[in-house]
Amino acid sequence: MTYSIKIKNILCVLLLGTATAQYPIAQSRDEMFQFISEMPKAELHVHLEGTMSPQTIVKLANRNGYSFFNNVEDVFESLENRAPGLGGFLQHHDKQVSVIQTENDFYTLTYDFLKNCFENNIVYVEFFFDPQIHSERGIAFESVLEGILKGKKAGEKNFNIKSNLIMCANREKSIESAMEILEKAKPYKNYIVGIGLDNGPENGNPPVKFTSFYQEAKRQGYYLTIHNDVDEANSVEHIWQAIDILKVDRLDHSINAIEDLSLVEEINNREIYIAASPVQRRRDPVPQDIGRIKFMLDHGMNVSLHSDDPGEFESGYLTKLLFNFQQAGHFSKRDMARFMLNAFKATWLEQADKDAYIKSFKKWAKENGVRI
């Protein structure tokens, strides 16, 4: 190594900081893209209803006789006109969800999503579905589930992707309504690995509102997670409630935890995994939350990265999201592999299956020059 290269490497280490110190030589964009796209992935935070591409939305809107999404430009316009934050997000989300009507639509959605997973080298996925946003439109719980399960079966067969469902209750709806979906889910228990809570607003709908839902779900053998969307009101207090009262196994988003170092310590002590989603909207210059997620990784938090609603964000599906996040935050290959190892560790698989995925992921990382 020549003297000037040595100096350059030392400067790189100083500039990039501790998280990237092991790989001081900058990777080329192409090499990094190849590394990220070939990386075997686990996707743990993705809403089936948010996976629809604008093309699929238009297809379903035409099929079901809706006139508000006649072409993809209509979809882009609705996406662009969203207000910031969770409220603005849900405005468009609810509108696009309304084009899904039949069991066959749920089949199409699930099959297309698993195809996308295959193209993104996702080998295992746990995906959310929201039965209440469909039952309130007159679609039976059973139609939703039968369509999803047919799509899942076909997707698994054609693309060799293992998947499990997470059933979300909506936090703006009543506890009684949440309890009802637990009852309805009983015949499908083998396919639903966990329960969650999403939608909003979060203000006025704290986690404790759903204590009995979480207790009953735990009693029935489900794993537990919960959305605490970023920068919503009372986020830190809600995360405390989620871990202390609901006793969740995982946290979704929950990035505001870093505002309270005793909460960070508690999450780490209890080995709770955090499924973050650094999405990017159309006009965002870079993905959201890079600095805060870097802080989490550097402070030993078990954080992983996911696509949330890939059809509705510029960040898109997982490979693109990870690559843009890496580029904007100057993360090393090792950092990116650590995020993904956290995802495999956070899965709700049988222990033997989880161990097999972790072993195979570590082998892949080693073969690609990364020790984790």
Residues that bind Zn ion (CB under 5 A): 308
Q: Please state, in angstroms and rounded to a whole number, the distance separating the CA atoms of residues 230 and 210.
A: 20
- Of the pair 199, 302, the CB lying nearest ligand ADE is at 199
Pick from ligand ADE, Zn ion, none: which does 229 bind, CB < 5 to 8 A by kind?
Answer: ligand ADE
Q: Please state, in angstroms and rounded to a whole number, the distance separating the CA atoms of residues 228 and 260.
A: 15
SS (H, E, C) 259-292: HCHHHHHHHHHCCCEEEECCCCCCCCCCCCCHHH
Q: Tokens standing for 116?
A: 């996308």
Under the binding rule (CB under 6 A), the answer on residue 199 touching ligand ADE is yes
* Count of residues that bind ligand ADE according to CB under 6 A: 11
Task: Order across the sheet with 41-43: list the strands.
Answer: 41-43, 122-129, 162-170, 192-198, 223-224
Under the binding rule (CB under 6 A), the answer on residue 308 touching ligand ADE is yes
Among 43, 103, 105, 229, binds ligand ADE (CB under 6 A): 229
Least Å distance between CB 90 and ligand ADE? Answer: 7
Are 125 and 161 in contact, with CB atoms under 8 Å apart? yes
Under the binding rule (CB under 6 A), the answer on residue 227 touching ligand ADE is yes
Segments of the chain assigned E as strands: 41-43, 122-129, 162-170, 192-198, 223-224, 227-228, 250-253, 273-276, 302-305
Q: Please state, in angstroms and rounded to a whole number, the distance separating the CA atoms of residues 70 and 280.
A: 25
Among 48, 52, 54, 93, binds ligand ADE (CB under 6 A): 93
Among 43, 103, 112, 309, binds ligand ADE (CB under 6 A): 309
> CB under 6 A: which stretch of 25-33, 117-125, 198-206, 212-220 binds ligand ADE?
198-206
- Of the pair 57, 86, the CB lying nearest ligand ADE is at 86
Residue nearest to ligand ADE (CB): 198
Least Å distance between CB 82 and Zn ion? Answer: 15
Residue nearest to Zn ion (CB): 308
Radius of gyration of the chain (CA): 20
- Of the pair 32, 169, the CB lying nearest ligand ADE is at 169
Pick from Zn ion, ligand ADE, none: which does 93 bind, CB < 5 to 8 A by kind?
Answer: ligand ADE
- Of the pair 50, 194, the CB lying nearest ligand ADE is at 50
Least Å distance between CB 313 and Zn ion? Answer: 11
> CB under 6 A: which stretch of 21-29, 192-200, 262-270, 315-323 binds ligand ADE?
192-200
Please tell me whether the peptide bond between 201 and the residue prior to it is cis, using omega within 30 degrees of 0. Answer: yes
Q: Which residues between 230 and 259 bind ligand ADE (CB under 6 A)?
A: none
Least Å distance between CB 148 and ligand ADE? Answer: 16
Pick from Zn ion, ligand ADE, none: which does 311 bind, CB < 5 to 8 A by kind?
Answer: none
> CB under 6 A: which stretch of 8-16, 118-126, 194-202, 349-357 binds ligand ADE?
194-202
- Of the pair 249, 308, the CB lying nearest ligand ADE is at 308
Q: Which residues of 246-282 are buried (b: 16+ CB within 10 A; e: fewer)?
A: bebbbbbbbbbbbebeebbebbeeeebbbbbbbbbbe
Q: 125 φ, ψ to 5°?
A: -140, 135
Please name every residue paired with 302 in a beta bridge, in sequence order, or none if there are none: 273
- Of the pair 187, 204, the CB lying nearest ligand ADE is at 204
Q: Which residues between 28 and 87 bind ligand ADE (CB under 6 A)?
A: 47, 50, 86
Among 43, 198, 232, 249, binds ligand ADE (CB under 6 A): 198
Q: Please state, in angstroms and rounded to a whole number, the distance separating the CA atoms of residues 327 and 149.
A: 37
Q: Please state, in angstroms and rounded to a whole number, the distance separating the CA atoms of residues 120 and 135.
A: 31
Helices (H), 166-317: 175-184, 211-219, 235-244, 261-269, 290-298
Q: Please state, in angstroms and rounded to a whole number, the distance separating the CA atoms of residues 194 and 207.
A: 16
Pick from Zn ion, ligand ADE, none: which does 126 bind, CB < 5 to 8 A by kind?
Answer: none
Rounded to the nearest 5 degrees, what angle is found at the Cα of 321, between the Cα atoms of 282 and 103? 85
* Residues making contact with ligand ADE (CB under 6 A): 47, 50, 86, 93, 198-200, 227, 229, 308-309
